[in-house]
Each structure stands twice: as C-alpha cells, then as structure tokens.
Structure 1
Amino acid sequence: MSDEILINVTPTESRVAVVENGLLQELYLERCGDGGYVGNIYMGRIERVLPGMQAAFVNIGLERTAFLHANDIMPRQPELTEAGEPVEIPPITDLIRQGENVLVQVIKDPLGSKGARLTTQLSIPSRYLVLLPGVDNIGVSVRIEAEAERERLRGLVRKLVGEDSKAGFILRTNAEDVDEGSLARDLEYLRRLWKRIDAGMQGAEAGQCVYEDLSLPFRSLRDLMHAGVEKVRIDVAASVREAQTFAGEFFPDWVDRIELYEGEGPLFDLYGVEDEIERALSRTVPLKSGGHLTIDQTEAMTTVDVNTGGYVGFRNLEDTIYKTNLEAAQAIARQLRLRNLGGIIIIDFIDMEEDDHRRQVLRTLQRALERDHARTSVSEISALGLVEMTRKRTTESLEHRLCQPCPACGGLGRVKSVDTVCSEIFREILRAVRQFETGELRVMASPSVVERIMEDQHRTIAELTEQLRTTICFQPEEQYGQEQFDVVLL
C-alpha cells in the first residue's frame, strides 16, 4: 500500500493530508493563533466543585472553564478489583477542593459550547513511547498483537529504564519491530522533556501553560510517519529543513523520505485533495455503484443513511442491497476519518434478509476501521438494521473547523417558505391593530416576500384595509433575510 503525507504551510495555517493509494483519507488543520489544546499541560485553579456530577470546573486560562471528572483525577489503575468488582471512585470532594491549584492536561479540545476536558493523569508522547509520570508500569499498544513482539518490547524498555524509574511507559503502535537504539533515543528525549516540564511547574501560576505540544507538522511526523509512508512532501523549504532535523532525532533512516514539493501547481492539487475537501463538506456521498450515503451531524450523534439510489443490480433485490451495503461500509469508514466524526454514530444500512450478508457487511466495516488512528467500538447489527458505534473524538470535526452556521437559517439547513412568512405578516398586522390605535402600518420585509404579497395577496390586503380601517404599505428591504420582517406603526 502506497501512503504519502502532504504538508501545506502558509502564513495563516498549516494543513496535513494523509493520502493512501492516491485517495485522501485524513485531513488535519491548524490555524495560526488557533491551534488545538490537546496534550498541553496547564497549572489550573479549581473554580467550582460539583459533588452531584463528580466533577469540577477548572480555570486554565482559556475563554471557557474546563471540565475535570473524578475518573480523571484518580491515579491510573485497573477498572476492576482482583475480585472482579468495579473500582469505587471516592467523592470528588475528597480529591480536590475549590480554590486549589492542580496540574492538568487537556485530553479533549473545547467542542461547541463545551469547555475542554482535563485529566490529572499526565502522559507525554514521543515517537515510540508515552511517558506516564508517577506510574510504575510498562504497557504495550493492543494493536501490537504478536505476544513475542510485545514481550521483546517490554524487555527492551525495562532494560533501558532500569530499576530506579519513577515513571511508567506505554509502547505505541509505531514501536513494532523497532530496535533498541531507537527506543533509547526516544527515552532520552522524554527524560529531557520531563525535566523541562518539572522545572516549569515550580512557581507556575493558575492558568499558565507549563507544556505545549508540538505544532501540527511535527505532530504529524511523530504520530503518522510509519514504514508504509513512501514520501512526505512539504511545500516550504524552511519547513522541510526543520522537519528533516526533527526526523533525524527520532527516525534517521527515513529522513530522505521528506522532500520539498516543487511542482507547478499547489501541493494540495495533487491527488485532487482540495476537491476531496469540498466533497467532504457535503451531506451526500455518492457511491461508485450509483447508491449514496447521507451523513447528518448533530450535537448528540452522527447518523449515516445508506441508499441504493440509481443502483438496480443485475440479479435480485437482496443481492443489490448486499453489494450496496458492502460498498457503503468501506466508504463510511473513510468518511469518518476524513470528516473527523466522533462520539456516537448510528449507521442505517439497507435491510438485509440473509444473516450471512449481515455478518459480511459488519466485518467489512470493522476491517475498514482497522486503519483508523482513533479508537472505535462497533456493535452488532440490530433487529432494525442499525449499527451503533463510537469513535473517539478529541477535536472538532472538519465541518465545524471549516464552516460556521448559516446566517439565514442559523444552522437549521432550512428557512420558512415565502407563503409561511406572508401568513405570519398578516397575523402580526391583526395583532398590532388590536393592540394599538393607528391610521397607518408599514411592513418591511425581504423583496421576495413583498413581491408575493403584492402579486398574489392583493385581494387579502384590500379586505384587511377595509376591515381594520387602516392603511397598509409594504416596503422591500434588500438586507432582510427571507424570514425577517417588521411591522411598524406610523
């Protein structure tokens, strides 16, 4: 499989595209002065403790106070006791107090009206390892499945760390098959970094950032670079030099894969990345067979509806539905990554009668999700043909990063019809005349509404004028939206 990473750097923003076999799979965006906060460490002040929610609001210097749950205050430990009972979480009032300072790390960016999500369980990532201060444990990513490899990696880290370590480590998926020298360089980097963070903690004031994660281009190299990536193309020479220096510290054998893009057109015109981004903002996703997906994102969940559309198949209805669902399963996995959709996701596959077809579609979806860097959990297909799944969400979706609510509809995706607004205007006229004594009314509305009233409702206007014994004049206003109008007493 041929993978490439494209890094577009401009004075206003940085964008990173992950391309697999010539097709855009993931997009990351960071604007100047508006980077994400995930991974940053702050000295926070407890502003308010909520015993009923087992949570607290913490001031870390951002616009909105951040959220800290009791689960994220407790030291890392198994979720179950040796007897198989859930570990009991003490009352939050026993863990923190209002007004005290606490060192916290952002694990989820502010989303919509919600503040950032915090934890006191610090973790500092590098290329192959994650440092866990204050924890005496060595873990291995579950995506490294071979038990012999898991034990080899644990043994190498134990040897490098020694017996006097005051921190634990997690071996990341990238660590699979790496040698001792690479792990040693990673370990030394983390130790130096933690010393700098520890020194910054001393005397830090509430709301002060103690550690800020790497910028997007460097994070991408750290987290996304792997043996299957053939090239990393960057369109700014200075950024290429910085990236090669950074890579030389962590994966020197791959430095020559990082190169300057010198093509005639923009970097993101390669593989039609810009066009793919535009399509990713659409509600509808066409399938090659002629079917399509309809994706609707709400605050509570994301729904995906599968439709056969123009696909009529060749054999029978069940076969047509089965092939459409198979194609849709792969397309859905890609769209979740590309659009960075997270939280609860409900997929409405077309109903299938055969159990084997249902199993194959579900398995296709699960296999397609295996390349997703975000953690996912997929349930069985329900009796209604629905698949409930979750995908870990730490940053806002692509739509929320690139778009804002429509000023005309406020994000509803629809506006009242002209006829509906006309009826509302007539009701408002009646209300105004009954409430106030007046000899003349002026109605200001959008040109389309005024035009409809004057052309189709002139008889109604005449009847109202005679009935109410008042003069009504209509004034079109270009700046008014279709739903907006004012009835003014003169």
Structure 2
Amino acid sequence: MNTEILLNVTPTETRMGLVENGVLQEVNIERSNRRGIVGNIYIGKVVRVLPGMQAAFVEVGLERAAFIHAADVQTPLKDSEAARRQPDAINSLLHEGQSIVVQVTKDPIGTKGARLTMHLSIPSRYLVFMPYTQHVGISQRIEVESERDRLRELVQTCMEVEGLNDECGFILRTAAEGAGEDEILLDTRYLQRVWNKVKERMKTVLAPGLIYEELPLHLRTFRDFIRPEIDKVLIDSRENFQKAQEFSESFVPEVTDKLEYYPGERPIFDLYGVEDEIQKALERKVQLKSGGYLIIDQTEAMTTVDVNTGGFVGHRNLEETIFKTNLEAATVIGRQLRLRNLGGIIILDFIDMEDTEHQRQVLRMLEKVLEKDHAKTKISQVSELGLVEMTRKRTRESLGQMLCEPCPHCDGRGEIKTAETVCYEIFRELLRDARAYDAKAYLVLASQSVIDLLLDEESQSLADLENFIDKSIKLQVDPMYSQEQYDLILQ
C-alpha cells in the first residue's frame, strides 16, 4: 500500500491530508486565528462549582469558561483509577477562586466550552509522560505479549537511568513497537525537559494563563501520524519544510529521508484530488461504487448513517444484493468517519439482513476498517431494530463544523417553508391586522417566489381577501428577503 502525507501550509491555514493508494483517508485543518487547543496546559481559576453536576467551570483565558468533571480532578492521595471511578464530591475537591493547573482534552465545540482534566500528560514520539500517575501502560494496538514485556522493561530501565521518582508514569504509544533503548531514552529525556519548563512556568504564570502550548499541525503530524508504512511526506512551503527537517532530525530521524519539498506550480491538494474529496465530504450523500449510497446526517446529539441499495440490483438474489451493499457500505463508512472526523454517538442503519453470518461479516469488515483509525471507537452488535450503535472519541470539531456554518435561510434545519406555506401565513397575518388596525391599505414585502405565487396561482384568493377586508393589498418584491421572510406595512 502506497501511503503519503501531504502538508499544505499557508500563513493563514495549515492542512494535512493522509492519502492511501491515491485515496484521501483523513484530513486535518488548523487555522492560525483559530488553532485547536487540545493538549494545551493552563493555569486556570475556578469560577463556579456545580455540585448537582459533579463539575466546575474554570476560566483559562478562552472565550467561554471551560468545564471539568470531578473524575478529572487530580487527587494525589488516592489511586487515580479508583478516584476516577468514584470521585469525591466536587465541592470537597474545588472551591470558587481556586487556581488549578489543567489540560484541555476536548476543543470548544458549538456552544460547549473546552473540556479539561487535571491528569496531565505530555506526548512525544514514542511515549506519553504522566507526571502524577504511577503507571507504565502500553498501547492496546501492540498485541504481541513478548514485545509488550520488552517495552515495559525498557521504560522502567530508562526511568532508573534518569533517576525518575515513583510519582510519574509513562504510556508507550503504538509507534514505540520495535523501538530500541536509545530511542526510548531520548524520548524520556525530552519529556523531562518539557516537564521541567512546565513546572517553572507554573510558578511564574498568573491565572488565567497559558503554561504549555501544543505543537502546530505541521510538526504535530510527525509525532502523531508518521508510521513505518508512510512512504513520503510532501510539504509545499520551503520555510516550513526546513523547520520540519530540523524537527524530524531531532525527534523522528527515521522520517527525514521521506521528507520532500513540493515546489510545483499546481497546488499539491489539487494534484492529488484532495480538494474534490473535501468538497464531497461536506455533502449528505455518498455514492457507493455498486450504485448504492449513504446518507450521513450530523446533529448535536448524534450522527446517523443510512445505507440504501439505490441503483444496485445485484445478480443472484435479494439477500446477496443487500449483503454486498452493506459490505461495501461498511468500508466506506469507516473512511467517511475518519475523513469527516465524526465523533460521539453514531447510529448505522444498514439494510436489514436475515442471515446472522452476513451480519457478523459486515461488523467484522467495519471493525477491520476502523483498526486504522487513530480515534478510539467502540461498536455494538446489530440491535433488534437492525441498527449498529457505535461511539468514536471526539476531541475537536468535525470537518463540517470547521468549514461550514448554519444556513441563514433555514437556520440549519436543512429545509425552508414552501412559497405556498408563506402565502397562507401572509393571508392569516392580513386578517389579524385588518381586525386590529384601521388601515387604508396594506403593502406586502416578500421574496420573488412568494410574490410570483400571489400574482399567479393565489391571485383569486388574494382578490377574495381584498373584498372580505375591504382594503387594497399591494405587492412588492424585496430581493434581499429569503423565501420565508415577509413584512406587512400598514398604509
């Protein structure tokens, strides 16, 4: 499999695309005026404690106060896992006006503020450093038990060499598989240097204030997305290419040879067809090669994916047609979730399958596709209603939320009232006004489509209304009005 990472860097925006065999699998966008803050460490001030919600609001210098749950409050005198399962009452842990050191685990999304934790963690290439947790963990994606034991011993050896006390811990990331002692030791030392700087700033920065800022996207890509199977990393900015070279030589030396500067006149995202894929990822409908299609709807509560056979009629029988459509849909759904960065609760409405073996194979295909997903996912079995429920960890806005805003005409509903509906609303409003006010005449301001309908199909109804209220009704088009907007002016 040919896997490439494309980095399109401009002064206002950085975009990363992960392309496998010429097909875009993942896209990440960071804008300079609205950078994501996941991973940032702040010193914040508790502004409100909510015992009824076991949570508190913390001011960290953002537009909206951030949110911390009792389970995410650091309790050094207790075992952290037990404390998270059964946290103490929030008002015994925090009080208003208190200064605390917190880390952002989820960006502000919509009307919700950022999600915080006091269980700090600082990632590097192979390790995640946890200053307050006495634990050495290993990524679940490293499955070979002998390799897990080797890495655990390696980290413990490095901790002894560096003289690290028992009040800190590490998690070995998936990228650590096969790493040697020198590489782990270098990461351990790097994380210690970062943590020492964080501790120094804790003493000097006043609340609310920023203590540690996460790396920008073009450098974070090297730490989080580079894997052995990556064949090439292309950057279209010479200045950032040089910065990336320096960073990779220091922290990811095995990638330096794969790093290339792209000087071409044609934009790099156009060359690989990424721009077209981003546009398609903003649409509700996703076509399947077989002729079927998906309908993806994202709401505040959850995301729903509906699978339809469309124009696919199959070759053998109905059950086989449904199975093949669902199998292809499972593959495409896995890619679309990554590409659109859809998180939270996701309901998959596959076409009903009678054969339990077909159900099992479709679920297995979905699980296989999601194995490549860096976000944590959990999938349920097929329910009695034929639905598959799943969750995908959400840490930042989806692609649609980042690039789009609610339609000003329909206010995000996805529908607007028909011209006929608006006409009848105008008739009712005219009747109310005729009873309430003594006007000589009325002027109706509305959109072109509504006025056209009033002058054509509804002209007789309008004439009957004029006779009924014994008042003249004039019509005028306002090109600035949407189809739902209208005004009645008394003359």
Normalised by the length of structure 1, the TM-score is: 0.97
- Check conservation: 2:71, 2:85, Cα contact below 8 A: no
**Cα separation, 1, equivalents of 2:487 and 2:37:** 44
Q: Between 245-254 and 345-354, report the one with greater CA deviation.
A: 245-254
Q: Structure 1 residues 87, 297: closer, same or farther in 2, change over 3 A?
A: closer
Q: Which residue of 1 aligns with 2:132?
A: 134
Is the partner of 1:456 in helix, strand or coil?
coil
Q: Which residue of 2 aligns with 1:432?
A: 433
**Cα separation, 2, equivalents of 1:14 and 1:196:** 27
Following superposition, the deviation at residue 11 of structure 1 comes to 1.6
- Check conservation: 2:49, 2:57, Cα contact below 8 A: yes
Q: What number of residue pairs does the alignment pair up?
A: 486
Q: Which residue of 2 aligns with 1:210?
A: 211
Q: Which residue of 2 aligns with 1:147?
A: 145
Q: Which residue of 2 aligns with 1:246?
A: 247
- Check conservation: 2:80, 2:133, Cα contact below 8 A: no
- Check conservation: 2:223, 2:252, Cα contact below 8 A: no
Q: Which residue of 2 aligns with 1:375?
A: 376
- Check conservation: 2:133, 2:169, Cα contact below 8 A: yes
Q: Which residue of 2 aligns with 1:105?
A: 103
Q: Which residue of 1 aligns with 2:386?
A: 385
- Check conservation: 1:18, 1:25, Cα contact below 8 A: yes
**Cα separation, 2, equivalents of 1:296 and 1:87:** 34
Q: How does 1:57-206 map to 2 (within 5 A)?
A: 57-75=57-75, 77=79, 79=81, 87-162=85-160, 164-165=164-165, 166-206=167-207
- Check conservation: 2:291, 2:312, Cα contact below 8 A: yes
Q: Which residue of 2 aligns with 1:25?
A: 25
- Check conservation: 1:439, 1:469, Cα contact below 8 A: no
Is the partner of 1:202 in helix, strand or coil?
helix
Q: Which residue of 2 aligns with 1:10?
A: 10
**Cα separation, 2, equivalents of 1:466 and 1:368:** 68
Deviations 1:135-174 (A, max 9, x none): 2211111111111111111111111111542421110111
Q: Structure 1 residues 164, 261: closer, same or farther in 2, change over 3 A?
A: closer
Following superposition, the deviation at residue 457 of structure 1 comes to 2.1
Percent identical pairs in the alignment equals: 53
Following superposition, the deviation at residue 79 of structure 1 comes to 4.7
CA RMSD of aligned residues (A): 1.3
**Cα separation, 2, equivalents of 1:436 and 1:236:** 67
Deviations 1:407-458 (A, max 9, x none): 1111111110000000000000001111111111111001111111012222
One-letter code aligned to 1:92: I
Q: How does 1:250-399 map to 2 (within 5 A)?
A: 250-399=251-400
One-letter code aligned to 1:174: A
**Cα separation, 1, equivalents of 2:360 and 2:85:** 35
**Cα separation, 2, equivalents of 1:215 and 1:348:** 37
Is the partner of 1:303 in helix, strand or coil?
strand
Q: Which residue of 1 aligns with 2:416?
A: 415
- Check conservation: 2:222, 2:252, Cα contact below 8 A: no
- Check conservation: 1:182, 1:250, Cα contact below 8 A: no
Q: Which residue of 1 aligns with 2:46?
A: 46
Is the partner of 2:307 in helix, strand or coil?
strand
- Provide structure 2 residue ranges, at least 5 long, that are not aligned to the other structure: none
One-letter code aligned to 1:147: E
One-letter code aligned to 1:169: F
- Check conservation: 2:134, 2:168, Cα contact below 8 A: yes
**Cα separation, 2, equivalents of 1:50 and 1:300:** 23
Normalised by the length of structure 2, the TM-score is: 0.97
